[in-house]
Structure 1
Amino acid sequence: MGDETMDLADGGALEAALRDELARETRALGSLVPVLRHMLASDGHRLVSDAALARVRGMLSDLAAQLLAAAAGRDPSVRLPADADRRAHDALADALAGDPLLLAHCHALAAESLTAERLHQHHGLDPVLSPLLQELIAAEDPLVAELAMNTLAAQSRFIQSQRRMELPLSELPAELFHALTARHLGQGDAARRLHETYDEGASRLGLLARLVSAMRRGAIAALALDHAGLALFASAVAALGREEREDAVLACQEGQGARLALMLRSAGMSPENIARIFPLVDPASRAPQGLEDIAPERARLLLGLTA
């Protein structure tokens, strides 16, 4: 780390400005989970809209309903019956709100769905079937075509679930799924039944990751937000730049311009194409000048220093 810090010290005014802006953006993101906890417990913050808060609250409530259904030996997809113990449900939802990793994940999903809706309203970009996904469905490679079709179905379910403020347990990343079931269901039959049917690779996030991987070098095409759509774009940025997908989603939010620019540079995007992304994400912002002087490896290093 010492050598990296010394190396960065010679980076010039542009990198100094980017480091300062990244530090500010990182502080804003760092306050996100505590703010979410507070707002869930009470009834702003620039990164948390009322719509995002409502979706986070709805997802936590939905997860609690599924866990209680599973614990009672029922199909989690049925959720709660009319005569369910609402106090137990509300208590579990409150407990889930205390999990910072789950809370951050739910917020990233809410931010993604709301951003996709905004891109549709303002730029006509379909939140389900993007031009690139349509091309991939017609690909000659049968693996790519099948993955693209399955991704289309999963993305459609995601948009519908978000509008209903739901989050199926099966759509959680493996780390969260196993932690959640172990903590609230233990090692009994209820957890075992859920584990038998869980397949991370068949989840929306798993399918997106597999599709980007199957595209190989062609994955660079998914960095064109208006052509790929937000879902595929975020997965490609994460894969090509070796970053977390949730970070790629949050980089598309207001006030995260330096992070977005460096993540795109880290993924191998040219400064000219990065500049075209910014009006889609935030019409009031502009890409930083001088990005051509920052190589992808340097961008990755800058991002790592503020992680």
Structure 2
Amino acid sequence: MVKQTMDMAGDDAVEAILRDGAARELRALSAVVPVLRHLLGAEVQGLVSDALLARVRGMIVDLSAQLLAAHSGHDPAVRSGSEDPAAIDGLAAALLADERLLTHCHALAAESLIAERLQQRHGIDPVLTGLVQELIASQDNGVSALAMQALAAQSRFVQSQRRMELPLGELPAELFHAVLACAQTEAGEGAGLARLKSGYDEAMSRLGLLSRLVSAMRRGLVAALALDHAGIALFATALAQETRSARHHAVLACHEGQALRLALMLRAAGQASPAIARQLALVDPAASLPDFLATLSPERAAALLGTDEAGR
């Protein structure tokens, strides 16, 4: 019905419909983090069985346990389980107050669940995709080495998500320093936290490696905008880079119910209607592509999305 309305309307009216639709999808996403914080902090959290909610809570608790282990002088990667459960819960509650961290964990959980759905429905491997294989075989030694490192990092990510864990070193720099500051506030200064900080290297995190790999592809980056060929990890990284958006916006655009934002992001990245339709069919078979999108310029699609604002 919406598609028919757009097809019959004038250009200005159609742009208004697209703008309203994209804003509606964005409002739905914006409501997620406050709801997550409420559910994760609620006494009834044990009754919530949603896989995404469980993974987000698992990651927050895991970060808390790692921080306390480091503060005590232990290796946070070991996860010995010797830390005080009450202290872990207390720090986790403090971490939950950081909306940026909650947003990041939500996007990671969504990414892993989308990857699982794509594998189940379309046989898209969450780790070794066709594009990753091609990049590993590249004649450019730098690209090949980056692809191998990204492959290993993606494999670790898949395993960590199944265990509902998030290694501290995988956090973006801003969040890494924020959680360290939170731990120092809650538990006090410690030499272990200082050592953790000195050993941190964002460029070697999964997201850092994916970003570097996509940048190294240069004009070949268009290959990463094919979800079935690239997989969600490289696809979201490339889409975010091409549209100058935050990566979590690109990930969540691949969620069911976000088809219009995904279509606009792909158009803003310069993709034509047939290519956009193929991507929509993979993530949301019930979604339909408005005919008007074919005449929409990439610049206008970016303006309708409010790409610059979304990326901040």
Fold in common (TM above 0.5): yes
* One-letter code aligned to 1:50: D
Distance 2:34 2:20 in 1: 23
Q: Secondary structure at the match of 1:77?
A: coil
Distance 1:189 1:181 in 2: 12
What is residue 179 of structure 1 aligned with on the other side? 178
8 Å contact from structure 1 (residues 241, 268) kept in 2: no
* One-letter code aligned to 1:94: A
* One-letter code aligned to 1:58: G
Superposed displacement of residue 11, structure 1: 5.2
Distance 1:49 1:277, change over 3 A: farther
Q: Secondary structure at the match of 1:35?
A: helix
- The one-character-per-residue Cα deviations of 1:7-53 (angstroms, maximum 9, x if unpaired) are xxx9512211111101111211111111101111233xxxx980000
What is residue 28 of structure 1 aligned with on the other side? 28
User: TM-score, normalised to structure 2's length?
Assistant: 0.90
8 Å contact from structure 2 (residues 68, 88) kept in 1: yes
Deviates more, 1:131-140 or 1:251-260: 251-260
- The one-character-per-residue Cα deviations of 1:255-291 (angstroms, maximum 9, x if unpaired) are 1111111111111111110011111101111223211
Distance 1:154 1:288 in 2: 37
User: TM-score, normalised to structure 1's length?
Assistant: 0.92
8 Å contact from structure 2 (residues 71, 190) kept in 1: no
8 Å contact from structure 2 (residues 95, 182) kept in 1: no
Q: Say whether 1:37 aligns with 2:37.
A: yes
What is residue 292 of structure 1 aligned with on the other side? 294
Distance 1:227 1:294 in 2: 26
Distance 1:181 1:194 in 2: 9
* One-letter code aligned to 1:120: Q
Q: Aligned to 1:265, which of 246, 250, 267? A: 267
8 Å contact from structure 1 (residues 64, 89) kept in 2: yes
Q: Specify every segment of 5 or more residues in structure 2 that has no aligned partner in the other structure, as ranges.
A: 1-9
Q: Secondary structure at the match of 1:40?
A: helix
What is residue 226 of structure 2 aligned with on the other side? 224
What is residue 138 of structure 1 aligned with on the other side? 137
Q: Structure 1 residue runs of 4+, over 6 Å off?
A: none
Distance 1:49 1:207, change over 3 A: farther
Distance 2:93 2:291 in 1: 45
* One-letter code aligned to 2:16: A
8 Å contact from structure 1 (residues 64, 93) kept in 2: yes
Deviates more, 1:94-103 or 1:125-134: 94-103
Q: Secondary structure at the match of 2:306?
A: helix
* One-letter code aligned to 1:53: L
- The one-character-per-residue Cα deviations of 1:226-253 (angstroms, maximum 9, x if unpaired) are 0011100000000111111100000011
8 Å contact from structure 1 (residues 144, 211) kept in 2: yes
CA RMSD of aligned residues (A): 1.7
Matches within 5 A, 1:200-215: 200-215=202-217
Matches within 5 A, 1:1-307: 12-42=12-42, 43=44, 50-82=50-82, 84-185=83-184, 188-304=190-306, 307=310
Distance 1:11 1:70, change over 3 A: farther
* One-letter code aligned to 1:20: D
* One-letter code aligned to 1:115: I
Superposed displacement of residue 183, structure 1: 2.4
8 Å contact from structure 2 (residues 240, 246) kept in 1: yes
Superposed displacement of residue 71, structure 1: 0.8
Higher RCO (C-alpha under 8 Å, 6+ residues apart):
2
Identity rate, percent: 63
- Aligned pair count reads 293
Distance 1:57 1:188 in 2: 25
What is residue 5 of structure 2 aligned with on the other side? none
